[in-house]
């Protein structure tokens, strides 16, 4: 849309105002994270710290078992990410490119599962996790112990599948020309070689979209770790932050430092892969 100078000026002003409103709490959190402890007792309204204390970040880190939380988050996120990319793309490939009995009904059933909110099925999921046989002190009938609860399995395994990922992969591979498959079959390549040799190398955009989706979902997940884990050594960063708050609530400078620290990976990802991020969010709407 072409605009007059006045209209453009107004648009800029409105956007500036809005961005300021959305970003202000984060900005204030940053300033607060740099304030000295004694500044809070002054009760004076100051945006900027009187003195800058970047050391707050180190102090916040020393006050919690962040290394464990970080390790858990990185471990869970990276395995869930890798595994789901593999399983989703290979299933999407099968649904899109291979004619087999039950293809469409199975696909549609998976798709319907997308509508089930995680919170609705959390209770039976918890009971299933608790009853996985031969894990966590369980016997072969799944009784006696805690199964997969309070372990990486509970946080990772359910994330390895996902109707959304399969759906996206199928849509993506449907656009490929049929001739591609035929040429490969004439060469005597099987499904797996076709997938790994030709489809995977062309899947960059798909992996970016799905990968970002999964990364944000698992890294930021609070609900599942809260329900599935209880020992301190299994906490992810999100749970760790909640624990930290419980222990040091009044020390807002440190609480803000910790909050910003655990958000750094996702903010960095967002700024580096902004285009893919946006595409990933928009992709989630195509099914509408």
Give the nearest distance from C-beta 206 to other proteins in angstroms: 16
- How distant is the alpha carbon of residue 211 from its chain centre? 9
Give the nearest distance from C-beta 6 to other proteins in angstroms: 11
Give the nearest distance from C-beta 20 to other proteins in angstroms: 9
Residue 163 or 206 having the CB closest to other proteins: 163
Are the C-beta atoms of 166 and 107 separated by less than 8 Å?
Answer: yes
Classify residue 111 by its DSSP letter: H
Give the nearest distance from C-beta 71 to other proteins in angstroms: 18
Give the nearest distance from C-beta 222 to other proteins in angstroms: 5
For residue 157, which phi and psi values (nearest 5 degrees)?
Answer: -55, -50
Q: What stretch of H or E contains 126?
A: helix 122-130
Residue 88 or 138 having the CB closest to other proteins: 88
CA 34 – CA 53 distance, rounded (Å): 5
User: Residue 221 contacts by C-beta under 8 Å, 6 or more apart in sequence?
Assistant: 236, 238
Residue 15 or 202 having the CB closest to other proteins: 15
User: Residue 47 contacts by C-beta under 8 Å, 6 or more apart in sequence?
Assistant: 28, 31
For residue 192, which phi and psi values (nearest 5 degrees)?
Answer: -65, -45
């Amino acid at each position: 849309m072409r605009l007059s100078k006045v209209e453009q000026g107004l648009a800029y002003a409105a956007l500036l105002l809005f961005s300021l409103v959305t970003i202000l709490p984060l900005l204030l959190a940053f300033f607060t994270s740099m304030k000295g402890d004694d500044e809070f007792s002054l009760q004076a309204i100051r945006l900027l710290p009187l003195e800058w204390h970047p050391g707050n970040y180190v102090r916040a880190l020393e006050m919690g078992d962040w290394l464990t939380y970080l390790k858990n988050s990185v471990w869970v996120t990276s395995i869930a990410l890798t595994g789901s990319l593999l399983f989703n793309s290979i299933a999407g490939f099968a649904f899109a490119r291979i004619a087999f009995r039950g293809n469409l009904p199975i696909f549609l059933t998976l798709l319907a599962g997308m509508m089930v909110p995680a919170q609705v099925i959390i209770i039976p999921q918890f009971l299933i996790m608790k009853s996985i046989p031969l894990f966590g002190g369980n016997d072969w009938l799944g009784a006696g112990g805690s199964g997969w609860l309070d372990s990486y399995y509970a946080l990772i395994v359910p994330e390895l599948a996902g109707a959304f990922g399969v759906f996206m992969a199928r849509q993506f591979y449907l656009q490929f020309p049929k001739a591609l498959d035929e040429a490969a079959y004439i060469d005597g390549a099987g499904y797996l070689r076709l997938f790994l040799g030709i489809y995977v190398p062309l899947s960059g955009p798909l992996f970016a979209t799905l990968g970002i989706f999964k990364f944000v979902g698992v890294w930021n997940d609070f609900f599942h770790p809260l329900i599935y884990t209880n020992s301190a050594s299994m906490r992810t960063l999100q749970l760790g932050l909640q624990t930290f708050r419980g222990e040091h609530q009044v020390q807002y400078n440190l609480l803000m430092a910790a909050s910003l620290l655990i958000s750094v990976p996702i903010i960095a990802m967002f700024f580096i892969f902004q285009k893919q991020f946006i595409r990933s969010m928009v992709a989630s709407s195509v099914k509408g």
